[in-house]
Structure 1
Amino acid sequence: MWRHVASNFLSIAVVVLVVVAGVVAWAQRQYVGPGPLADAICYKVPSGAKLWQVAEGLEEKGAVASAYIFKVGADYEGKAGGLKAGSYLIGPGASMQEIVGIVAGSGRSTCGTEINYRIGVAAVDIIVRELDAATNRYVERVKFDPAVDAVPQDYVDLAEDSDARIRITLAEGVTSWQVVEALKRADFLTGEAGDVPAEGYLKPDSYEVRRGSERGALLAEMGQRQRAAIDALWAERSPDLPYDTPEEALVMASIVEKETGVPEERPVVASVFVNRLRQGMRLQTDPTVIYGLTEGRGVLGRGIRQSELKKETPYNTYVIDGLPPTPIANPGEESIRAALNPAETKYLFFVADGTGGHVFAETLEEHNANVAKWREIEAQQKATDGN
């Protein structure tokens, strides 16, 4: 009898183990397999949320088939305690395992509200936009200049969202003074900006910050990124350049940056100035003259006077030989690359062509002809504007 009971028990135990193994295998397939989400959603994990709360919220949104399996899987992977507050884009068919990786990952929001504080050469503005999860495109909600516009109430309301991503974007060609002044007006930053950093040594780039980030630390990061870029590009420079140090190359890069906004022209513009330096010619570039007048404190806002072209300043390259003593702006990587790897040309001159680009010349005669054409274009534009 006991042998019969033991036999039955073993049979039942085997069946139970088989069933359990089957359930575990099924649950595992549910965890790693495609999820039920048909369309992308933006899911917000509140600060201090518990795993079970997130799991149930995802189940309600239709992102996971089982909150219980989601929680058990996260526990098993050791990620249950790694939840990060934020707003996250969850794509169609995302598995529970993928979603766990998203909400317990870097903590950087990938959807929701984004505040972009853009520091440009001529103006500073704030753009608030939100990601439309269905189209994966941003929709602009607010745009204004904090220096001249009243702060819109929509901005105040959206900025109160603790999960809103904040981004600061530096345009190529801004001066260090412009950057510092703009950061002083950024109401989401704290601390003193300190002294204006050396010209040219802040990297035009996009910087993600948090509300309460310190201005000084942000400026230090901008400086570190720029120096890293200079060091990396200096190692790849062309031989026989007419400047011997990364600092001099940065001066050249800043001139290239201010002379053209057409990306493909940068190596050619650099070649003009390199050719002039090699032949002992003065650079004769207007942006350096302007910097000598403004000291980088904003834009000149008018044409250069003839008296100013003759005025001797350390930056007037119509008067001085060689490079000015410092950069005249913060150049981007492509301008630094162009200064270190200029095109091989014989050009010594260039002038605007009326399309936003320039026309280049090897001789003064060719250049004078190009200038005459540009004067005609200018006259036509003024006549059209007058009408």
Structure 2
Amino acid sequence: MKHAFLLLLILPALAILAAGTAFWILWAGPGPIDQPKTLIVEQGSSVSRLAYQLEREGLIRGNATTFRGFARLFGGNAPIQAGEFQLRPKMSAAAILTHLQYGRPIQRLVTIPEGMPSVLVHERLMQVPYLTGNIEVPPEGSILPDSYSYRRGESRVAVLDRMRGAMRRELERLWGQRGGNSAVASPEAAIILASIVEKETGKPSERRMVAGVYTNRLRRGMPLQADPTVIYPITRGRPLGRRILRSELNADNGYNTYRSAGLPIGPIANPGRESIAAVLNPAQTNALYFVADGTGGHIFADTLDQHNANVQRWYAIRRARGEM
């Protein structure tokens, strides 16, 4: 009897000890990884799916079944986040689950600056090492410049679709806020003119004024005479690296706004929000001309005589700098 009684005391104690040991080894204690590891969790992953992934990648002790069991008992009800996560060395199974439920995924961003042409957008996306697949050069003016997050292993097509979707939504929003003094008759025309404004302005504060000049010229049937439209068919938006040739100023290619009045046949870059907003609500001005002022901005003129005097001042600045 005495031995049986002792056995009844020892067996529960052994069971508690075994359970505690399993809890520590398989759940709360140090994990098997000895260096930082990256874990990519797919959208919609459940605890069960995660458990098999952790077992397969050797990130937990034990197996998927034990992980699921401990997760149900101690893991709470918060969903598993999708994304890319950095796991620390010796991270326990419990800590991994908490990190995937409440932690911050690795933020990866690709930035498209305002005015970047589509050939360079294509190059930038193709150079991102963690994206997959190939893409064609997107149509000019179809990308909204911004910073876009992406997941490691995500397709370039998916990221490009987000960029194009952002432009469609933003253009629709801004078109609904256009003013009565805008000279563009369609959202597509707004993108074309905004791309010219984007390439002509070195100072954000000048966007509406430059848009006002071009609006006045369009209403009067005057050629826009925008150098970037001459350069675009030569380089597709890349820097020209030299002065424009007389033959290029005379070229008839649908883009040259020295040769023809009105808008060119398409955008010459991907304009940002502020340039689109500027052509939809241009400054009220009588100005028809502008030229560089030597500070990165422009000086504006209402008449050709005023403009010619401003051009001579700009030439004097350039000669003083040794540029002419």
**TM-score, normalising length: structure 2:** 0.70
| 1:331 partner SS | coil
1:327 aligns with 2:267: yes
> Which of 101, 105, 108 pairs up with 1:104?
101
Q: What secondary structure does 1:382 align onto? A: coil
**Map 1:260-279 → 2, pairs under 5 A:** 260-279=201-220
Bigger proportion of residues as strand: 1
User: What is the aligned partner in structure 1 of residue 258 from structure 2?
Assistant: 318
* Cα offsets for 1:65-119 (capped at 9, x unmatched): xxxxxx99x969633x64776369xxxxxxxxxxx998634x643xxxxxxxxxx
Counterpart of 1:134 in structure 2 is none
Q: Which residue is 1:28 aligned to?
A: none
Distance 1:101 1:370 in 2: 65
How far is 1:318 from its partner? 0.5
Question: d(CA) in 1 for partners of 2:166 and 2:122?
Answer: 17
Q: Aligned pair in 2 of structure 1 residues 366, 102: CA closer, same or farther (>3 Å)?
A: farther
**One-letter amino acid of the counterpart of residue 328, structure 1:** I
Structure 2: distance between partners of 1:316 and 1:239: 28
Q: 2:145 aligns with which of 201, 204, 215?
A: 204
CA distance in 1, matches of 2:162, 2:130: 17
Letter matched to residue 77 of structure 2: G
Whether the 8 Å contact between 1:45 and 1:103 is mirrored in structure 2 is: no
Contact 2:117–2:236 at 8 Å: present in 1 too? no
Q: Does 1:359 align with 2:303?
A: no
Q: Is the 8 A contact 2:117 2:270 kept in 1?
A: yes
Name the residue aligned to 2:182: 241
Structure 1: state its 5+ residue gaps. Answer: 1-43, 51-70, 89-99, 110-162
Give the alignment partner of residue 169 of structure 1, picking from 111, 123, 127: 111
- Tell me if structure 1 keeps the 8 A contact 2:182–2:279: no
Task: Verify: 1:295 aligned to 2:253, yes or no.
Answer: no
Q: Distance in 2 between matches of 1:240 and 1:340?
A: 8
Equivalent residue for 2:197? 256
Residue 187 (1) aligns with residue 186 (2): no
Query: Distance in 1 between the 2:235 and 2:306 partners?
Result: 32
Q: Distance in 2 between matches of 1:262 and 1:329?
A: 17
Give the CA deviation at 1:294: 1.7
Q: Percent identity?
A: 46
Alignment of 1:137-156 (within 5 A): none
Structure 1 pair 101/261, CA: closer, same or farther in 2 (3 Å)? farther
Pick the structure with more helix per residue. Answer: 2
- Following TM superposition, by how much is the alpha carbon of 1:243 offset from its aligned partner in structure 2, in angstroms? 1.9
- Alpha-carbon distance change, 324 to 104 in structure 1, aligned in 2, over 3 angstroms: same
RMSD of the alignment, in Å?
2.9
- Between the aligned partners of 1:246 and 1:313, the Cα distance in structure 2 is 23
Conservation of the 8 A alpha-carbon contact between 2:118 and 2:139: yes
Given the two structures, how large is their TM-score scaled by the length of structure 1?
Answer: 0.59
CA contact (8 A) 2:122 2:137 kept: yes
- Provide structure 2 residue ranges, at least 5 long, that are not aligned to the other structure: 1-35, 41-46, 48-69, 88-96
| 1:369 aligns to 2:299 (yes or no) | no
Mapped partners of 1:335, 1:323: distance in 2: 16
Q: Which residue of 1 aligns with 2:9?
A: none
Relative contact order, CA 8 A, sep 6+: which one is greater?
Answer: 2
Q: Is the 8 A contact 2:182 2:282 kept in 1?
A: no
* Cα offset, 1:292, TM superposition: 2.2
Letter in 1 for 2:117: T
Q: Is the 8 A contact 1:288 1:317 kept in 2?
A: yes
